[in-house]
């Protein structure tokens, strides 16, 4: 078997997320698998590094798949981009070690969340950002973000249903920048639970609006209890970068 790694960009606005849902083809994974299966002449399954939610975008999603016969990387890329919808693009196709696994070989992931923080809307980024009309206190948000750095049980900041899997994740960094009304929150960690990034951003927004105290975050983490709070809208979230260990990379 020949193993190939894909670098993918997509606008997730009209899809039900990355992960294939039974017979529902309206997912990123489903669209790509259908095209690859047509190309190969038999069923192809792809493995994605991150299962982005409905409405979430990717600047650099990574996936891998296997073929029974070797094909030129350029031919695979050309075929995919010819038949995929225009809101899904394959930037690169690379032949990799047969043991390379897009999910298991991941070292860390970076997500970026975009907030348009002006009273008026921005028609050019409204589908790719969350609009917050009231002025956000960026310094308070930066201070609040420090409570998430390090290794924590993030049960309180997730909607993950499984109780068998560990809810412990490590956040390496959170950076907040504002330029001309656009706030970008970059979060890098070893992994993320279902809705975890959007819930973290939601709390940071509430702190920035003065609706939540900074010191309350530590208590939320410690409680491991899910709480009713703002969850940031999906359209502002982008999977920005995925890093891998050198093991099993050609």
Residues with a known catalytic role: 53
Closest CA to 57 of 127, 131, 158: 127
Please report, for residues 158, 166, 228, the alpha-carbon distance to residue 200 in angstroms, rounded to integers and kept in the order given: 9, 18, 13
- Find the DSSP H helices in 174-215: 196-208
Angle at 46 between CA 44 and CA 51, to 5 degrees: 150
Q: In terms of Cα–Cα distance, which of 132, 110, 107 is closest to 120?
A: 132
Specify burial of residue 128 (Cβ count, 10 A radius: 0-12, 13-18, 19+): middle
Residue 37's DSSP bridge partners are none
**Helix%, strand%, coil% for the chain, nearest 5:** 25, 30, 40
């Amino acid at each position: 078997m020949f193993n190939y790694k894909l670098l993918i960009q997509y606008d997730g606005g009209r899809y039900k997320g990355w992960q294939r849902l039974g017979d529902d083809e309206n997912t990123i994974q489903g669209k790509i698998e259908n095209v690859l299966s047509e190309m190969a002449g038999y069923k192809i399954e792809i493995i994605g590094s991150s299962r982005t939610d409905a409405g979430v975008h990717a600047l650099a999603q990574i996936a891998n798949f296997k073929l029974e016969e070797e094909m030129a990387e350029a031919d695979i890329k050309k075929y995919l981009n010819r038949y995929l919808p225009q809101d899904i693009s394959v930037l690169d196709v690379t032949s990799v070690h047969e043991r390379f696994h897009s999910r298991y070989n991941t070292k860390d992931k970076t997500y970026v969340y975009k907030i348009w923080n002006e009273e008026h809307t921005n028609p050019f980024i409204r589908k790719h950002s969350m609009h917050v009309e009231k002025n956000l206190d960026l310094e308070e948000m930066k201070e609040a973000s420090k409570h998430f750095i390090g290794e924590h049980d993030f049960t309180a900041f997730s909607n993950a249903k499984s109780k068998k899997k560990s809810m412990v994740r490590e956040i390496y960094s959170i950076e907040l920048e504002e330029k001309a009304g656009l706030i970008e929150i970059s979060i890098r960690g070893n992994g993320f639970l279902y809705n975890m990034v959007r819930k973290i951003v939601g709390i940071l927004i509430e702190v920035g609006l003065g609706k939540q105290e900074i010191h309350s975050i530590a208590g939320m983490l410690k409680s491991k209890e899910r709480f009713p709070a703002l969850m940031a809208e999906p359209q502002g979230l982008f999977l920005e970068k995925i890093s891998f260990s050198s093991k099993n990379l050609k």
